[in-house]
Structure 1
């Protein structure tokens, strides 16, 4: 599969909104001044989008399900943390119109993704969504909609991203929120956030950056077979899976030119993050 720019398919005269894949961190990300600063600087470098459609590693639900458009409270989908992490708020505006657009795109005739899209008005943003967005848009002035992953199959998610690509021309920033490596056995608070990364994490991170630079979609979609230490870096693949939605959206509506905006490691996990467009 080659990277292709689909300019002829678009009628908008302005550049499409960027597509991001970011490593989101756990709730304590808010206490890491370096990382929060990197996210704030990233946000300052791009035009504020009309709204954000975010896919988090922490929501798998089939068929594809859209989160609240009526203001449900945040989903604190973690356990055993100090109380103040459960008191965080992020009152971003709702995006009901975006939910309608997503539904139309994913249920259009010929869609290879699920022909059914559900709504869950009781589900607020989970920490994979609100933790990074709170740092990037602290004024909570950008409407946000969260969407579930109905599968972890890379090609299925890539197709969903392709279907969602027209949203970019409407000013929607599509965000995949995961972690470039995610093996919690490496997480050792005694070693500290700046401890040297395990070899498997460093090898996978380097491979992922090289594959992204080469715009090698086929290898990325087949990462479990192609990447070194893939099953150590991702014992379960949900934290790499949001990348495939963003790859599909970028591929279909502007090409795969990308840049690595954030790199480095946090408790051994690669926090590398990319921007398309």
Structure 2
């Protein structure tokens, strides 16, 4: 891929679940966000819903979506998103990672999961931008930041790097609530907002010990983990100070905070 004059931002977004499409507010927020962004040449997605080691590169051609959820109404399984594949981007990812000593594998039959396509359906509904998904090779925040640093040069080639998770994520705890926002979700969101605004990367890296209710907000790390790929890509380009929360608030009790660097 060749360099462009405009560096693409790096994003972390809370991707929601399939019913996001029926929300009265959130799809419009995602559409407004994408309208403000430079148009990407390609999109590189890192989703909470694909953990694979060593780091895996998904399909480089258009394949059926991965409906990795259960018990939803049938129409959610009829959603399509036939974005073009991104073989050239895949080549660049292999070159950057292998050149820096990071092993990479190819899983050519792995389509986009809901952590990738659910927000993209709202942000880029024409499905006319090539999309490549890669796996989370680890849940270690420091190692994921290193992956992001290695991928940072893609931003100067017109690639939108997107870490897709959920700013708080504990579905089991939500089952005990009738409605509203649980205190652990609100407290973690407020802490995370401040940590991002002040550039407290060390606090974010050690969020289980430094944050209030970290264990409740993220009993597993997979939905917070994509943030660290984004942070690494931002740090390598000197963009940590240019962070802003584009979307905030809560959806079904979970913090949907989504942030942009650069």
The partner residue of 1:212 within 196, 207, 210 is 196
Query: What runs of 5+ residues in structure 1 fail to find an aligned partner?
Result: 1-10
Separation in 1 of the partners of 2:125 and 2:173? 30
Query: Structure 2 matches for 1:55-70, cutoff 5 A?
Result: 55-70=46-61
Separation in 1 of the partners of 2:232 and 2:88? 22
**TM-score of the pair, normalised by structure 2:** 0.96
The residue aligned with 1:275 is 260
The partner residue of 1:167 within 119, 134, 154 is 154
How far off is 1:121 after superposition? 1.2
Query: What runs of 5+ residues in structure 2 fail to find an aligned partner?
Result: none
How far off is 1:27 after superposition? 0.6
Any idea what the Cα deviations from partners look like across 1:192-212, whole Å, max 9, x if unmatched? xxx421111101000000000
Is the partner of 2:146 in helix, strand or coil?
helix
Whether contact under 8 Å (1:189, 1:267) holds in the other structure is no
**TM-score of the pair, normalised by structure 1:** 0.91
How far off is 1:57 after superposition? 0.3
C-alpha RMSD of the superposition = 1.6
How far off is 1:177 after superposition? 0.4
The residue aligned with 2:170 is 183
Q: Are residue 108 (structure 1) and residue 91 (structure 2) matched? A: no
Q: Are residue 89 (structure 1) and residue 76 (structure 2) matched? A: no
How far off is 1:47 after superposition? 1.3
Whether contact under 8 Å (2:66, 2:111) holds in the other structure is yes
**Number of residue equivalences:** 260
Runs (4 or more) in structure 1 with deviation over 2 Å come to 11-15, 185-191
How far off is 1:188 after superposition? 5.1
Q: Which moved more, 1:159-168 or 1:216-225?
A: 216-225
The residue aligned with 1:224 is 208
Separation in 1 of the partners of 2:177 and 2:149? 43
Separation in 1 of the partners of 2:192 and 2:5? 30
Whether contact under 8 Å (2:218, 2:224) holds in the other structure is yes
Whether contact under 8 Å (1:60, 1:149) holds in the other structure is yes
